Structure formats: structure tokens, C-alpha cells
Amino acid sequence: MTGADFGELLRSYREQAGLTQQELAERAGVTPHAISSLERGARTRPYPHTVRALADALAISAGDRAALIAAVPRRNPSGDRRRQHAEPAPGPGGEAVRASDEQPTRGSHRQAVGGPRGRVIVPATGLVGRDGDVAAVRGVVRAGARLVTLTGPGGVGKTRLAAAVADELAPDFPDGVVQVSLAPLADASALMVTVGRALGLAGVDSPRAFDLLVEQLSDARLLLVLDNFEHLLSAAAQTGELVALCKQLTVLVSSRSPLRVRGEHEYVVEPLDLPPRGSTTVDQLRAYPAGALALDRALAVGQRPASDDVPAYAELCHRLAGLPLAIELAVAQLRLLSPKALLERLDTASRAVGARDLPERQRTMRATLDWSYRLLGPDQQRLFTLMGAFRGGATLETVEAVAEDGGEIASGNVLGILQELAEHSLIRVRGDRLEMLEPVAQYARSLLVGDRAARIGRAHARIYEDLAKQAAAGYERDDQVVWLERIEEEEANILVAVERSLDVGDGPIAARITWYMWLFWWMRGQFTIGRRLAESCLENELPAWERSRVNLAAATMAYAAGDHTAAATYWAEADLAAMEQNDREVRSKAIAGTGLAALANGDLETAEDRFRVSLTFVHSSTWMASLVHVWLGTVQLLRGAPAVAVPEIERGLELARGRGDRLATYVALYNLSQAALALGDYPLARRRVDEGIALSRETRDLANLAYFVETLAVIESKEGNHVRVAMLLGAAAGLRETVGADVYAYYLPDESLRDSALRAARTALGEAAYAEADAAGRSLDPTAVAELGKE
């Protein structure tokens, strides 16, 4: 189809819905001009995100949605995706397409555009004195700079400025604005993995993280905001390379130091302009940004300055060097002190602390934090420094537990003290989480040292071990999705608990946490990090219970990554350790694992024997039993006996449903769909697939979703729906590229059925039409893929 066909189709759907261009634009979150340009054919290549937004706004059927997507013109055949669009692409009349024109995005940015679009987090408090900075940075970006770094000392307001700039620039980026806080990240090598997760890309926790990001963002017009980069400067070159390879990506960085890479535009964020020291009126004070900020924050804590207070406010701004964070922290104390008393205490603190060889602004900031800390009572100080043990914040319940377990504060007293810390502007509340601004968190960590740090670190690890243990049990029950989401939120704390335990030589607790986390990493496709931690744990002396289980974790992570030889070795080691302790749980899993290794090698006799032996070590109603029954069915399918396979698989399904376990349920459903296909019962196969797609979507298991979508393509081919076949196969390929591995290596479908469906679709549609439908499928995000399967 041509670009005009898309415009005609869009106009037709809009008129059928009874909407004006203005009304459709408002519903879809685009401009009326964009709608007009698309319908007239002035814009011929809308982004997949734009097409999805229009389809949602029109509330059209899945079939009409697919038709609209398929009507988007196919881009030029691709060569090396990393190096495409080195020059502007020619427009309809031969002219270069402007940066604001939409480009095709076959397969690019599938998930980011469907997830975090427009979710710019801007603090509720007003941004004072930064209008000129916002306009300047906005102008730099609109002039073509694609890597802009906001630099300046801690507390100068780089993060807040970046949020304001991103908010203003959001309309310029049709594929969205994504903010990534790097403060909790300790390892620069994990930067690209962290960015991929923020974009919603499952499976980026792999050695291919950078390549996957390039593939996803190669054509995406997206603004990526990287906050607090200064401790990750060894990743600066890779960040510059990402910008160079993704020709429409713009990156806005906040950092105390510039990245020093080619193409970087540094913008130095200066402290706020100061009022004259001799200021005598409130209006005079308010005329300068630092004074205006002090007045604004004073009003926020219920203080309305009198004329006699103005000189103290002006002097306060000078003593704090115009640093916004320092001013906010100091003015928060006006709940307790008069402006003159506040100034007297600040003066004492400023003289008493701060190394002489540090820049004045850093000495002042440290003095402010030291002074704020000294204003706290003993319990407040203990809880404030204890908060430095956390990464990425924590829930109230977790802070209470660590405070009590670490012998610091009784849990019943924690809430009141936290409220006091919040009044001092030392912590903030976001949803159900307690967080610190990063300069404050770094300061708190600097005070948490020695034996006390070790004691609190151990308490932190014990509490997160308990949480991970609860989640591990929850993954096998009906609250599986709840626990997956909870652990995703706490993953930074759990990882630091493992790393911290390994650093202090507490291998057993690190091994236990790693064991409890393996299934989370499996379902999230994060097998690289799981394997790394498991192997790190195995470098320590471990008791038999921990050693056997961390070997199981290493085995499953290696198996998910396709390293079946290593997986078999780890499973054998786990079984050996378990035999010494007569540990039936580990023996059942290790023996079943060796069965999976045999299955991967095509040794069906050994696989069946290992699976049946495994069942003798496990209770008949457990999670492991349900999976082993399914795998026994897989053996029969591979022997060409689907009728024999069905009872085994249905037994596994029954056990899984009884626990509300989605994972084991959709593993069984997938194998039952393959048995139904082999028996020629296509309606039954569709029912199995439909349920499996719904469950995969709930757990966000993209690897599993890809298998179901591919099976649906085989079913659609049987009914002659060749456009849908091409879209579904494209969608499955896109999902696998995102995950980066098959993960479910024990899924062994009849590849000839898929190949036959593909050939039939190519023959029926022709190469050009097939390629268009395939590209449309690859461009869908996981939600749209699941919706496509409903028709």
C-alpha cells in the first residue's frame, strides 16, 4: 500500500467514528496538524506509536487496527541497522526530511514507545529562578544537539532542571521521554541494562544489552534523561556511541562532571543569583532567584517573613552560595528556629566543617548537611544514617524491620521519626516508598561506617532475604504477579544485599537470596545477572544446603542462556551435594534438570528416565511435579505419540491450576496446544493458545508469549488468514529479539508447521505485502501483540 492509502484509511475510520480532526487529535495526544498531514499524505511514514495511539483513539477492531498498521509504507530494505540514516533520508520531492518528520520504525523501540511515553516526573514544588536555563537548554536541543550534559556541583538543581526541560520538550519527541535515575547503580557496566529496563525491554540483562538498545532505538525519536551520571563515567564512551548510532535519539544527562565524548554539549548549571547582602525589603529579596526560593520554601513551612527578617534571609542565601538544595534544607528548619537563630547556627557549622582543599560550594553543602544532621535528635540521626543502607528507597515496613533487627530503633517508633525527617526535608515520600535525594543519600552513607555499618548491612540483608524467600513461595501460587511486581520494585536493594554479603564474606546469605531470586530472573529474562551472582556465591565456602541450591540457580540461568553443557554440570553438582544430605527437594530438581539436558540433546530415553526418577523425590502436588508431568508429555510428543502425551500434560495442568500458578499453567497449555495440532484439533489448539497468551501477558513473560504467538500463526494459516500469519510471525520474531534468548528451551514444537505457514503466506501475499505485514508485526509492543492474538 502507498502512503496515500494510509491517509485515506485514517480518514475513513475517523469519519465512521464521527470525529473531527481536532477531536481525534485530542484523544490520540497529537496535534490537529499531524492528523491533517497524515490524511493528506503530507506525512507518509507515521511511527508505530502514532499508529497505535490513533487506533486506540478510534476504538477500532483488532482487524481494522491490523489493516491500519499494514497500510504504513515499508521503509527501504535495511543493511547494517546500526549505520542507517547517516544522512537525512530524501523526502517525497527529493528534499531532505526534517528532524520533525516521522520516519519508519520497523522493529525499533517496540516497548519503550508503548510504555513510558510522556511520563515525565516533575516535582510538585515550583522551579524558581530557572526560566532562562530551561529556555537555553531547550534551545540547544532544538538546534540539533543530541547529547547535552547539565553539569554543576551537588545540590545545584541539575536533576530538577533536567525534569523541567524534559517536560517542555516532550511534544517534540513522538516516541516519548524516558527518565532513568542512575543513583542506585553501582556498576558502570550495567548502565545499558538499566536503560533497557527503564524502556521496558525484557531480556536486556545480557551481553547483548548495548546491541539490543541500538536495534530498538535506531529510528526512535525519543528523549532519554540520565540522572546522576557522575559515578559512572567509565560508561561515557558507550553512551556517546549509542547516540551516534541512533540518529534520532537525544540524551539529556545530569552529572557533576562532563562525559568528555564527541558530540557532547555541556551546559553548566550555576547556583541561583544572590540578593544583595544589604537587602531590606521582601520585594528586593524576591527579585533574585536565591531569595525567591528561600521565601517560597519559607511559606511552604508556614513562615511569612517580616521586614526585620530580610537581612537574615539574604545572608543565608550568601552563606549557602545559592545552592537550591542547601537553601531548601536550611529553610526547612524555620519550623523550629527564627531566621536569625538559623543564621547563627549555620555560621557555626560552616566554620567548623569542610576540608580547605574542597571548592567553596562543596564545603558549604557539606556544612549545610552536617548542620542539618546536628539539629537532629539521637534517634533521628540513627534513622537518617540507617536510610543510607538502602538503594532506590524502601517501604515503611522494610525500614521498620531493618531498624529493629539492626538494634537501632524499635519498629513502633520509626514512623514518627520518619515524619520528623520529612519535615527537615531529608527524606521524601513517593507513593508507598521513602526516598532521599541522592546528595542526601550519599551523605547518609558517608556517616554509616565501621561496625555499625556492618551490623545494619547484615540486618538489611536478613530482611531482604526474608522478602525474597516470601516471593519465591509466591511465584508458585496465585499471587505470582503481585510478587513479581514487588520484587521488581525492590531489586536494587536485593542486589546490593547480595553484593554486600559477598564483600564481607557472608556467602551463605548471599547464596540463599540468589536461590530465592532465580525464578524472578527466569521470568524476567535476566539470566546473565542471575548466573553471575550464583557463580560468585560458589566461589565461597558454603554449607551443603546453600551450595546445592545455588548450583541449581546457576544451572537454570545457564540453561536459559543456552549453555546446556554448563547447566548439566551444575545440576550434577547440585545432586551430588543433595545426596549427602538426603535433600529430596534439591534431588528432584537436579535430577529433572539432567532430564532437561538430555532432552536438549535428543536423548529421549534418558530424559524420560530422569523425569520419572525426579517424581519419586517430590510430593505429587508440588510445583515441580506439575512441570515434570508436562515434560514427560513433551517426550511423548517428540516420539510422535500425542494421544499418549495428553494425559501426562493434563495432569501437570491440573496441579498447576490447583495452585493458581500461571507459569506452570502456561507451560502445560503450550504443550497441550502442540498435542492438539498434532491430533488435528485446531479449535482446541486455539483455546489453549488464547489462554496461554493471556497468562503470559499477566506475568510479562515475553519469551513464552513468542511461542504462543508463533503457534497462533500456524492455526491462522489453517484458516487461510495469511496477513495475520505474517503479522504474528513478525511479532514472535520481534519478541525473541527483545528477550535475546529462547529461555524455554524445552519447548520443542514441530518446526515444519511454522515453515509451512510462512511459505503459504508468502505465496498468497507476495513478497512485498508479506514484508509489510511482517514489519507491522515486529513493530508491535507486547500489549499490542497480545491484543492481536484475541481476534
Share of the chain above pLDDT 90, in %: 51
| 94: Cβ contacts below 8 Å, ≥ 6 apart | none
pLDDT score of 515: 97
In this prediction, residue 20 has a pLDDT band, given cuts at 50, 70 and 90, of confident
Residue-wise pLDDT for 587-618, tens only, equals: 999 999 999 999 988 999 999 999 999 999 98
Number of residues that this document lists for the chain: 791
**pLDDT (average), residues 82-105:** 29
Per-position DSSP letters for 171-217, written without gaps between them: GG-TT-EEEEE-TT---GGGHHHHHHHHTT-TT-SSTTHHHHHHHHH
Q: What is the pLDDT of residues 225-269, one digit of tens each?
A: 999 898 888 999 999 999 999 999 999 999 988 999 999 999 999
Asked if 599 contacts 631 with a C-beta cutoff of 8 angstroms, the reply is yes
Neighbours of 118 (CB within 10 A): 12
Of the candidates 399, 432, 431, 401, the residue with the CA atom closest to the CA atom of residue 418: 399
Q: Given this model, what pLDDT does residue 138 score?
A: 95
User: Does the structure show a pLDDT above 70 at 114?
Assistant: no
| Residue 759 pLDDT greater than 90, yes or no | yes
**What are the φ and ψ backbone dihedral angles of 587, each rounded to 5 degrees?**
-60, -45
pLDDT in tens, 698-719: 888 888 888 999 999 999 999 9
pLDDT at 39: 80
Which among 621, 591, 622 has a CA at the least distance from the CA of 608?
Answer: 591
- Closest C-alpha to 137, from 154, 117, 116, 151: 151
Cell of 240: 556517546
Q: Span 50-63, mean pLDDT? A: 81
pLDDT score recorded for residue 109:
33
- What count of other Cβ atoms lies within 10 Å of the Cβ of residue 378? 8
Quote the pLDDT of residue 1: 39
Instruction: Using the predicted structure, report yes or no on whether residue 41 has a pLDDT greater than 80.
Output: no
Q: What is the helix (H) or strand (E) element at residue 577, kind and residue range?
A: helix 564-581
Q: Given this model, what pLDDT does residue 486 score?
A: 92
pTM of the predicted model, to two decimals? 0.71
How does the average pLDDT of the chain come out, rounded? 84
Say yes or no to pLDDT of 96 above 70: no
Task: Please provide the DSSP assignment of 63-114 as one string.
Answer: HHHHHHHHTSPP-PPPS-GGGTTSSPPB-TTSSBPPTTS----TTTTTTGGG
Q: What is the pLDDT of residue 590?
A: 96
pLDDT tens string 374-410: 888 999 999 999 999 999 899 999 999 999 999 999 9
Which of 140-154, 438-452, 591-605 is predicted with the least confidence, judged by mean pLDDT?
438-452
The helix (H) or strand (E) run that includes residue 167 is helix 158-169
User: Could you read off the pLDDT of 518-564 as tens digits, one per residue?
Assistant: 999 988 878 888 999 999 999 999 999 999 999 999 999 999 888 98
| pLDDT score recorded for residue 87 | 30
Residue 122, pLDDT above cutoff 80 = no
Residue 500 CB contacts under 8 Å (≥ 6 apart), including other chains: 457, 460, 461
Spell out the residues 6+ positions from residue 297 whose beta carbon is closer than 8 angstroms to its own. Answer: 125, 327, 328, 331, 332
- Weakest-pLDDT range from 73-77, 84-88, 158-162, 613-617: 84-88
